[in-house]
């Protein structure tokens, strides 16, 4: 075999192993519930033991509230089945919206009311109530077309080392998934359970609140809730979670 052929063969083998590695990495993405303790998993599945159901019930009430209610346009909240699995998504005007952003936009544009605002109790409640209607359904976000630039922006954020600890998201949620960190088990970080009730928060919170906590953890800048960077990252995380079941409202340690 000539030197040129050996080089070509080595290159092809390297590409093959790279492809296998990428496929293996994709196959390693697991539902976040797999990383929960058995006790937390049981509580997440039991509305009578899940504190997040208080927000769900409030959201179901808000759905019907007012003359120009959500229900007056969409009908019963059951019509929201599958909606959460498709967000974040690009709106007609080119803006990337997550489920919270879509709800607040409906409120300002169609109900003529001021926005609830990120992390407000009413928005968390409505988001939890809507997301519940997709529980168990596979994530199926669109990543092509207008969403593609946002996806790449989110990928860059995920892969970039940040903060004083000089860590990228994947160094925890890919390389260390399944290992313990301060008594917790590191998951793949796919965000399918948000909004989630976290025991260390003692309340329900959004994915962006969790992302801010991650930024703080690596000693990086905490970006505003609803920032373009976190929205793009949320889309990338959802793309990693394609096919994984929605768990919202989740229960986390």
pLDDT tens-digit series, residues 216-234: 999 999 999 999 999 999 9
Tell me: pLDDT of 7 over 80: no
Tell me: pLDDT of 158 over 70: yes
- State the pLDDT at residue 14: 40
Q: What is the overall mean pLDDT for the chain? A: 90
Q: Looking at per-residue confidence, does 28 or 205 come out higher?
A: 205
Phi, psi (degrees; rounded to nearest 5) at 111: -105, -10
Q: Can you give the C-alpha Rg of the chain in angstroms?
A: 20
Tell me: pLDDT of 26 over 70: no
Tell me: pLDDT of 24 over 80: no
Query: Rounded to whole angstroms, how far apart are CA atoms 253 and 251?
Result: 7
> In the 3-class helix/strand/coil scheme, how is the chain assigned residue by residue?
CCHHHHHHHHHHHHHHHHHHHHHHHHHCCCCHHHHCCHHHHHHHCCCCCCCCHHHHHHHHHHHCCCCCCHHHHHCCHHHHCCCHHHCCEECCCCCEECHHHHHHHHHHHCCCCCCCCCCCHHHHHHHHHHHHCCECCEECCCCCHHHHHHHHHHHHHHHCCECCCCECHHHHHCCCCCCEECCEECCCCCCCCCCEEECCCCEEECHHHHHHHHHHHCCCCCCCCCCHHHHHHHHHHHHHCECCEECCCEEEC
> Can you tell me the mean pLDDT for 5-23?
43
State percent of the chain over pLDDT 90.
Answer: 83
Q: Tell me the β-bridge partners of 90.
A: 96
Tell me: pLDDT of 145 over 70: yes
Residue 4: pLDDT band (50, 70, 90) is low
Active site residues: 214
Cis peptide bond N-terminal to 249, omega within 30: yes
Tell me: pLDDT of 237 over 80: yes
**Where are the chain's structural domains?**
32-252
- Residues 32-252: name the CATH superfamily: Cytochrome c-like domain (1.10.760.10)
Residue 159: pLDDT band (50, 70, 90) is very high
């Amino acid at each position: 075999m000539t030197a040129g052929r050996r080089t070509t063969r080595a290159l092809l083998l390297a590409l093959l192993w790279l492809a296998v590695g990428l496929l293996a990495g994709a196959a390693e993405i697991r539902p976040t519930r797999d990383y929960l303790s058995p006790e937390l998993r049981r509580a997440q599945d039991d509305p009578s033991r899940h504190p997040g159901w208080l927000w769900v019930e409030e959201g179901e009430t808000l759905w019907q509230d007012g003359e120009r209610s959500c229900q007056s346009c969409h009908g019963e909240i059951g019509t929201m089945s599958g909606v959460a699995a498709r967000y974040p998504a690009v709106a007609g005007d080119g803006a990337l919206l997550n489920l919270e952003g879509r709800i607040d936009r409906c409120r300002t544009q169609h109900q003529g009311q001021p926005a609830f605002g990120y992390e407000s109790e009413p928005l968390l409640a409505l988001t939890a109530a809507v997301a519940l209607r997709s529980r168990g359904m596979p994530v199926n976000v669109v990543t092509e077309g207008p969403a593609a630039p946002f996806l790449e922006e989110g990928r860059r954020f995920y892969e970039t080392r940040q903060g004083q600890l000089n860590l990228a998201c994947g160094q925890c949620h890919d390389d260390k998934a399944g290992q313990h960190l301060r008594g917790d088990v590191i998951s793949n970080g796919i965000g399918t359970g948000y909004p989630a009730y976290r025991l260390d928060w003692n309340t329900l919170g959004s994915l962006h609140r969790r992302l801010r906590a991650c930024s703080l953890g690596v000693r990086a800048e905490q970006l505003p809730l609803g920032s373009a960077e976190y929205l793009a990252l949320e889309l990338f995380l959802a793309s990693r979670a394609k096919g994984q079941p929605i768990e919202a409202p989740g229960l986390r340690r």
